[in-house]
Structure 1
Amino acid sequence: MSQQFAPFRNTAFTAPGASPGHLPASVAASLLAAVGDVTFILTCDGTILDVAVSQGDLANLGFADLIGESWIDALTPESRNKAVEMVAAASGAVPPRWRQVNHAAPGGDVPVRYMVLALGDSERLVAIGRDMRAAAEMQQRLLQTQQSLERDYIRLRQAETRYRLLFDMATEAVLIVDGQTRRIREANPAAHRLLDAREGTLVGNPANAIVASEQRDDLVAYLGAAEATDDLEPIMLPLADGRGEARFSARLFRQSRTPMLIIRIEPATTDDTAHRFDSTLGDVLERMPDAFVLVDRDLKVLTANAAFVELAEMPSADRVTGMSLGTWLARPGRDLDLIVAQLREHGSIHNVATILRGAAGAQEEIEISGVIASMDGKDCFGFTIRNVARRLRTVSVTTRDVPRSVDQLTELVGRMSLKDIVRESTDLIERLCIEAALEYTSDNRASAAEILGLSRQSLYSKLHRHGLANTTAGDN
């Protein structure tokens, strides 16, 4: 049974004049001081007669030093109207209520919640305050958390929209299968076209129903093997109703802790017109001025065009085949790891700057672009490599280094490590500052060291390191 609760209501003493009795002034003062974190005794015009601070932090903020000052003036400008209204209400017959105001303090505004009451028949008022900084901080954290959750939700919705669009537009048949029930959870339009099914009719059916009846156990066994390993070769199975054979490949993933399988289906029979340009395409790749290389998942070269062979300073394409792409790329342990990680995450890379080292020792500034593709059910990578040394901007030789712009510094990414870029930038800034200080002090090293905050010995060491020791006049 559902239990009903009465609404909350405030109650007061039934006989306030008799139950507590007449309290001495000292007891009443102690009670008032204990009720709030800060308590002010005010005149009718808001002048502070006395103050009790039970929150030590508020005393450090100067609350205890406000005796004799106006309580209203101690508040921030936007809170003073509230204070005036509370003082006026306490002097009249209006029931008191809590209102939050802000105190001006050296370290920032302090939010305090006050209730102002009249002290009997006297012309004095009491303002009982409670420190609201903890509550304000909690509210700020809750607001930030809510905003963060909203941003994450928007990103998830945007990602879901993109992947849903990609899923629906894919020309390859794709099924999402529940790993526990082996039933189809989702199927893209290409899968419905391949299996000659109306839109949405595949969802909920057993996954093995799409193949011929005598091969259904083979598909179930293949899906079970796909749950145990990620490196599983595709399997050829006949489709149901005599639609021909197809190549099945499956991969396990988890969604809300539920095992799911993504199944890709490729028809075994392909249209000959789809490959009528293969020979022309191969000739174009061989003769194109930019280098092209195709590598397997281990970055072993499968084939390369003449431009790549020339750039790698190898005698022939046969000598290149089977070698690792890292043989020619500078810093292979860093560049290749970054490139492969980007390819696996995004499917492609575009104009990544690095250095290619030829077999004869020559080095060329290059930009590499690439895509990930599937060949016989395995991943492979195709790269185009462009020599950009000719179009790099030449820097005129001057007597002093010219500061690099942000664009020039970012161009070093991929050619130098972050540590080297930071060191080069730091050295350049340090030299420019030393030169400016020497110029400002008319080459007086003692004065230059003083304005730079360095000792003379440190300045002399830096002058020698930057080659400036012989270009200055001295200490005088």
Structure 2
Amino acid sequence: MSEPAQFPPDITLAVDGEGVIRTAVSAEALADEQLDQWRGMLWTDTVPPEAAAQVARAVESARREGESSCFTLNQRLPSGRELLLEYTTVKLGDRAGFVAIGKNVQDVSDLKARLASVQRDREHDYWKLREIETRYRALLDASSEAVALVRVDTLRVVEANAAASKSLGLFPGAVFLPDLADGDRKALHGLLATARMNGRAPSIVLHLLDSGKLSLRASMLTSEAGTFYLFQMAPLDEEGVASHAADTRSASFSLETFVWRLPEGFAILDRDGVVRFANLTFLDMVQAGVESAVIGKNAGNWFNRPGTGLRMILNLVAQHGVVRSLRTTLESDLGLRSEVEISAVGDRIDRPRFFGLIVRDAMSRPKGREGEFVSLAPGPAGFATSLETAVRSSVEAVERQRLVDALAQCAGNRTAAARSLGISRQSLYTKLKKYGLDQH
């Protein structure tokens, strides 16, 4: 049985055991209806013919079994109009009959419709905000200038674009510029005070302990989530020129361009394993669409095989200075597992602060005459048995043939081929590159 109505009923009927209405009371909203006309009438005579049987069953059930019931029907009022009511019957005694409490469900239906409309509007607004946020992030990451959003009360980074992460090591959760010289710390506090007072502050030059000089300007942002500083930063060279401007004067070459286009995956991690830089091949390996999806994430998410996980690799570099061709497993963001080899080195021999990793697809290693992989360095790969190699080769041969067949069936359309294989287009590109089919 449904719970009793939590709001005053619109119609209350006292009905005897034969189904005759003895009293009828209406709410104020129905005060113009002459319900006294129902006294002495059978309840079944006050409803449309199609609802009479439902009322008769409720009366019979209350009379014979003493059970209460709950049902919905169109109640015809004395004025002739009909009202959709939900009735709840309550037994009064063996001979006293029962009370039928009717609640207008049309108002409830209208309220539900309005709530559904509000919910749709909220979802529409949510997706509009998501679209705006996506555009904002794209613009932020496309900027060559380092930009960071910092919380006012804690001076911790909330967001930072790729330029800020690579050049200044800023990522969400980190303290903003912890390596400032003591004298420049006062200058920074003065800049923040000016920004809070005027809404923005002109640029100043700060001296970082390890990264040289920096031009910094600030403005204030206030939202429902709180108040933030928006910092725009540019590293300066010895002549006080912004580094991106200085790069345009060196017409020779850019080392970063070569690293970015390396055919091997390359990443720079800090002491905690957080990615500070990653090249295009590394992004392909972990199946990340944009650089901002990798910067600031812990590389242990991708290298987590027991015994050869990220922490073991960093510890080996800290102890021995270098790691060469260590075999491990890389698990991408989309769940694709692949065997890789990692070579790593620190930025200095004693207690390195940063680690450079070169990640190479193990399937691209040189092969011997009988097709076995040549061992380039001792390590976990040396324990692989011939059975494991045979199984792996068989699986890869089947997978490669399926890729070839799917491309042939789809006339070279890679999007259709990925759909037929049940994988994402990014996964298909990674597999094609793995088996040397990306040029076909």
Per the TM superposition, whether the score is higher than 0.5 is no
Greater length-normalized contact order (CA 8 Å, ≥ 6 residues apart): 2
Structure 2 length normalisation: TM-score? 0.43
Structure 1 length normalisation: TM-score? 0.40
